[in-house]
Amino acid sequence: MNNKPTQKYIEFAQITCGDTHGKWSLVQITKKVYEIGVDRIIIIGNAETSSIGIPIGTSTYVVCEGYGMTAGAIKYK
């Protein structure tokens, strides 16, 4: 699915929330959007990544998990 805006726009800000609960991060980003008055956000992806390494013999097994959310805020021209 391509949700790229069809109107011309300028990138206004990047908003990041590093909370571990995705729905909460989206709520916080939405609150900030209303504060700064942008027209739309585009979700970029996870804000942070955490990982843990477990040594197994001569190797290390690493598990990574993304959390938080980063969004680009735009204003239409």
Element of type H or E holding 15: strand 9-17
As a whole number of angstroms, the distance between CA 69 and CA 29 comes to 8
pTM over the 0.85 mark:
no
pLDDT at residue 1, as a whole number: 43
Domain count, the chain: 1
pLDDT at residue 2, as a whole number: 55
Instruction: Kindly state whether residue 19 falls inside one of the protein's structural domains.
Output: yes
Give tens-digit pLDDT for 50-74.
677 888 888 887 777 667 788 888 8
Q: Which parts of the chain fold into alpha helices (H)? A: 22-36
pLDDT at residue 22, as a whole number: 73
Instruction: Kindly state whether residue 1 falls inside one of the protein's structural domains.
Output: no
Give tens-digit pLDDT for 20-50.
777 888 888 888 888 888 888 888 877 766 6
CA distances from 13 to 27, 62, 70 (A): 17, 33, 11
What's the domain range around 15?
A: 9-76
- 17 is written with which tokens? 């929330």
